[in-house]
Structure 1
């Protein structure tokens, strides 16, 4: 009678280990969710440092064009700058003018002639040189401010559901790269026998699948992520064609081509390499795989360096190779750690020498990470204050802290490695037996196998049935493997090493999440330079631009409602003429007993400087020689009295000079 060959199930203690693994990964996933939730939409990497007219400016006559100045290069299209009138109608020509000169990055758009007075909205949206979308809006007024019905999108570019999906795809692409490259490096450099172990094979293949799927998702989401914000536009072929013509599109499509070569590498690694028995052929194949795998891995890492932070800013010619080394070191360290974790929990046995080789590989990776990280920190942060005063610097400090924790846990793991006892003689198994056991050990219990082997037929029956003999041989090999694994699980040193590596892997999940958020955050150096540029632009004198302000008031008495309209001419430091018009809700002049005005510059502790205007006619008050000694943001307070007991004070911040 022929029976089905039983397969090994989990060894004793595996259930508890898997429960602990699931718990730790759930904690890591929760931490990942917290980090991503706090990240919000991608921050601007190219910042708006100035504009003409400036934000909130009131100009006497309509300008002929609107100019925007950025901190770094941006990609402009016809819809990148839109100027809208108070009714929301577009009043620009739609033709973007490149006004860049030297280090000044400036673009402009011409306005239609004969624009009436009122408040105009400038909405802009573009993509910075490091591939991240940026957008914003501001207003200026012609003649006097007015109400506006312009409604801008609530969700900024790069945010919403599309932004969340794009962020998840970015994270998965990094994770897939780390597992693919690090897993392959672990097999080639540390544990060649692991090429025949099914759990390790599945890990690396899943890394390749994850990276490929995430890259395709990034390519499809790129158009709605940077332009429309609508998830349905992932199927817009015109948008996809436009993306392929950009630097980011070229990088993603190149990554897909390189992943084709990576698939060949994986096929050879787990095929011919795993089956090779001749020592010389095995060594030659190892050298070829190591050389080819390094070239492919560096090429894939280069697709990030080509399209993101390293490709713009200071010293891109140095920063891009450094970024590639940084990514490869991360992959070798964290990807190798993941492969070691799988081997410790799922493979029948892992030699002490393999763990020691990985420990040396991880140490070298940390050294490379430290060297490249110091350079990247100087390049992206620039000053000590930026480490604590900017979001990028704060995230970088969190990343450094997590790396320090990983190094500490790694030191504990190295101590466990030193305490490991050498494997007993006879513990080694053939590659075929190891592969068969690794494939089946998760599905059938050891007791079932032992019972089946105990019920073996007599020797003559086995000789008469070669198929049955082969089946029993496989069963005996599986039982032997399960027994070795049971003995391994009982080793306290190995158990300690597994716990230590598992903790490292949990911290690495969070570290990878912080790194993903960091790559989508405005570098600290750019943020500080943009802030200085805005401060310089805000302090620049703007001559002959009267400040017009309209403020509603309500004193609570009879005829106590209306509007105060003030004009400060020329609206700069020094002497100014002040005209005040008090109007009823229907726009007619309102006669009031008293109007008072004061100016306070809180930033310099100046004021309040009182102004007592003279009544010229009904509803019209004026004062000449109003002295404002310094430029800055002045608080203007207007007191209106409509009767002996009814009065109110209203205020408004106005920018002078």
Structure 2
């Protein structure tokens, strides 16, 4: 087999990298040209009242419906009157137990005019989204309320958050791939640096994500990082719990790395192979548990946890992430080993080739399922931003597989050479010889430095030593055609893999095709307009006094739509200062005396402070009904008030 000198191979490598980089950059620019900014994953699909609607009387509450589940906070939905004063009462809550809805009650007796609904929520896959719309009571009017933009996060914080997310994905791949390569193929100083560097990157990125999470979801500036109170709120959410779990798992992973590159590596030459096999089994089991756990922190808080078949999608996403780590991280470990010129056996390269092939098969299978689940249709594949980025990812995977096939051919040539053991001995001898040559050079340099008083001569000796070291490394890296070609092809794979990770990160911050299609269909079909009430609901204010000073206040009874059939009932209790206040118990019965129906007990459920509701109550017919409201403020203090309601007349 002929050999190539370093001077001939280095320009070839640079040309290969330049061509790959130029093609990938052109591909990304062409496909991302004109793409809108990354969209949040939950989109508003319907409102009640509808955007721009004019209703005759003030509604009891404002409802919002989203394309997927959302997380609510105290100020997720704010209603502002024409003078920019808040008129909502209580905390926003989900309607009917559906996480894709949000509702907040309004103060009774609102005057005519235009009201602004400003909302800000966090989708269940951890991304913030905000917006606003207006409706009018009686007739439209001028309003001073400032309508916020759709941006849910500060620009600087959002950029930092996306960059750190990319670092986290890269750190995970380097950590998992480096450990698998070291345990099954070959452990070396370069592989150890890669795995430890991956751990440091992932740990640092996770900690930064945890600190940036509050400002990211609340739309605050970078100063919000130092808000410890906000950090406590983040830890109470699903994404915050996932990040905290990742930090704890990474603490255990640090111990795993110490054993893998410490005790396990030192026992490589031990005569007691039984003890080393036991340690290897323990490392394999512990490493699998840790890697699955770390991958699950993504699956439980992002795309896989939301939407259809989430119970299937989350384990599939974990497997997909592990395959990515083994393949792409392993590529980094292999190229790092080849670059340092350290001897690596052909069996080790062949072992990684098999691992990479298995990972690719797993990636294809899990990727097909994920694509179907997130895109849903051929139109969404080409008509949504998520679909276009997915096509970019598929194209990069195809390029990566093509380059990998070239690497496998060069690996085959390495394997076809005979006498593996003899070759390993030769490599060891060559390594020892190189070490001795380096020691002689160092001794020679020390003597020269001790005797030479001329600084010019000292600088010449230093340059000569650096040149010798560089030539030694290049000779080891490009010692033969197969090894040099394998290094270049694996390096090209790594370049494409880096871009692929960036595209995967972009996908995780883009609204899935199914959700985008649902939003478009809702807008085209007028779903939001259909949610306006057909008739005016009933709202009754009932003062109550159970005796003590703390037992004085008023209750608001609401019946929607106030027609025979299924109705939604709300009861709100306030103190004398119009602040929501809880009572020990609230009971409601309805009676129709003329038809001798009732009393019918309403099954009220406590929703929030001073708020009870019945999600579905059946009224058999219209007529003049008698409402009985009982408010109990202590074990012995209670009062029952009655009112007359005309329903369906």
TM-score calculated relative to the size of structure 1 = 0.69
Partner of 1:428: 427
C-alpha change, 1:189 and 1:37, in structure 2 (3 Å) is farther
Find the partner of 1:540 among 530, 546, 549: 530
Partner of 1:357: 351
Partner of 1:208: 199
Partner of 2:638: none
Shift of 1:133: 1.2
C-alpha change, 1:38 and 1:235, in structure 2 (3 Å) is farther
Partner of 2:259: 268
Find the partner of 1:80 among 70, 76, 84: 76
Shift of 1:158: 2.9
CA contact (8 A) 2:119 2:132 kept: yes
Partner of 2:91: 95
1:525 aligns with 2:534: no
C-alpha change, 1:111 and 1:28, in structure 2 (3 Å) is farther
Shift of 1:141: 2.2
35-44 vs 124-133, which moves further:
35-44
- 1:506 counterpart SS class: helix
Alignment of 1:146-161 (within 5 A): 146-154=141-149, 156-161=151-156
CA contact (8 A) 2:80 2:117 kept: yes
Q: Distance in 2 between matches of 1:539 and 1:113?
A: 24
C-alpha change, 1:481 and 1:172, in structure 2 (3 Å) is closer
C-alpha change, 1:249 and 1:377, in structure 2 (3 Å) is same
- 2:58 counterpart SS class: coil
1:491 aligns with 2:491: no
> Gaps spanning 5+ residues in structure 1: where?
1-10, 458-478, 546-657
Q: Distance in 1 between matches of 2:294 and 2:500?
A: 21
Q: Distance in 1 between matches of 2:475 and 2:103?
A: 73
CA contact (8 A) 2:48 2:62 kept: yes
TM-score calculated relative to the size of structure 2 = 0.70
Shift of 1:185: 0.6
Shift of 1:407: 0.5
Find the partner of 2:290 among 264, 277, 296: 296
C-alpha change, 1:254 and 1:104, in structure 2 (3 Å) is closer
Find the partner of 1:338 among 329, 332, 351: 332
CA contact (8 A) 2:130 2:152 kept: yes
C-alpha change, 1:13 and 1:244, in structure 2 (3 Å) is farther
Find the partner of 1:259 among 247, 250, 261: 250
CA contact (8 A) 2:132 2:149 kept: no
Shift of 1:541: 8.2
CA contact (8 A) 2:77 2:119 kept: yes
> Gaps spanning 5+ residues in structure 2: where?
1-5, 448-467, 536-649
C-alpha distance after superposition, 1:426-451 (max 9, x if no partner): 433289969x96xxx9xxxx8x7664
1:63 aligns with 2:62: no
C-alpha change, 1:119 and 1:403, in structure 2 (3 Å) is same
Partner of 1:509: 498
Q: Distance in 2 between matches of 1:241 and 1:212?
A: 19
Find the partner of 2:315 among 304, 316, 321: 321
C-alpha change, 1:131 and 1:119, in structure 2 (3 Å) is same
Q: Distance in 1 between matches of 2:32 and 2:253?
A: 29
Alignment of 1:137-216 (within 5 A): 137-154=132-149, 156-191=151-186, 195=187, 197-216=188-207
Work out the number of aligned pairs and report it.
504
C-alpha change, 1:121 and 1:372, in structure 2 (3 Å) is same
CA contact (8 A) 1:92 1:109 kept: yes
C-alpha change, 1:408 and 1:47, in structure 2 (3 Å) is same
Q: Distance in 2 between matches of 1:410 and 1:384?
A: 29
Shift of 1:294: 1.0
C-alpha distance after superposition, 1:308-332 (max 9, x if no partner): 1111221222111111100000000
C-alpha change, 1:480 and 1:59, in structure 2 (3 Å) is closer
Q: Distance in 2 between matches of 1:291 and 1:24?
A: 42
16-25 vs 317-326, which moves further:
16-25
Q: Distance in 2 between matches of 1:519 and 1:399?
A: 12
Shift of 1:18: 9.0
Shift of 1:31: 7.9
C-alpha change, 1:170 and 1:17, in structure 2 (3 Å) is farther
28-37 vs 161-170, which moves further:
28-37
Q: Distance in 1 between matches of 2:218 and 2:50?
A: 25
- 2:427 counterpart SS class: coil
Shift of 1:256: 0.6
